[in-house]
């Protein structure tokens, strides 16, 4: 089976571009409300809260790793890509806060989109 890499994002900032061309990128809400489309990923920006990401994507992903010290928290969350990228794609977003009582915000993201 031939796989085509469609987009790769750097972890330094959230700027991802689709590799052009038409692709099925509709939100699969009926099947998986928490899967992420390329269009949804493209809407995310550094500084977005976890709550906003959850609204855009339809879910908050799964915590892959986290650390906390003196009120500061950092998390890396993984998200499932929607079809037709759901089998081999990877999406990871890093969140951190500014201390006690402040919301987690996006500070970096990385994705690897592979068409099934």
Exposed, middle or buried: residue 9 (CB in 10 Å: 0-12, 13-18, 19+)? buried
Query: Length of the chain in residues, anyone?
Result: 116
Residue 11 has pLDDT above 60, yes or no: no
Q: Which residues pair with 78 in a beta bridge?
A: 62, 92
pTM of the model: 0.72
Domains of the chain as residue ranges with CATH: 5-16+31-114 (3.30.1450.10)
Check residue 8 and give its pLDDT: 31
Separation CA 68–CA 48 (nearest Å): 20
Check residue 101 and give its pLDDT: 87
Q: What's the mean pLDDT in 87-102? A: 94
Check residue 64 and give its pLDDT: 96
Q: Which helix (H) or strand (E) holds 62?
A: strand 62-69
Compute the CA torsion angle 44, 77, 86, 27 (nearest 10 deg).
-40
Please indicate whether residue 88 or residue 27 has the higher confidence score (pLDDT).
88
């Amino acid at each position: 089976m031939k796989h085509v890499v469609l987009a790769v994002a750097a972890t330094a900032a959230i700027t991802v571009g689709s590799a052009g061309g038409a692709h099925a990128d509709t939100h699969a809400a009926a099947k998986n409300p928490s899967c992420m489309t390329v269009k949804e990923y493209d809407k995310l920006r550094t500084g977005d809260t976890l709550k906003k990401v959850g609204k855009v994507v339809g879910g908050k992903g799964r915590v892959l790793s986290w650390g906390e010290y003196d009120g500061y928290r950092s998390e890396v969350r993984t998200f499932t890509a929607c079809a037709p990228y759901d089998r081999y794609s990877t999406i990871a977003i890093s969140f951190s806060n500014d201390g006690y009582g402040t919301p987690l915000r996006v500070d970096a993201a990385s994705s690897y989109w592979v068409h099934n």
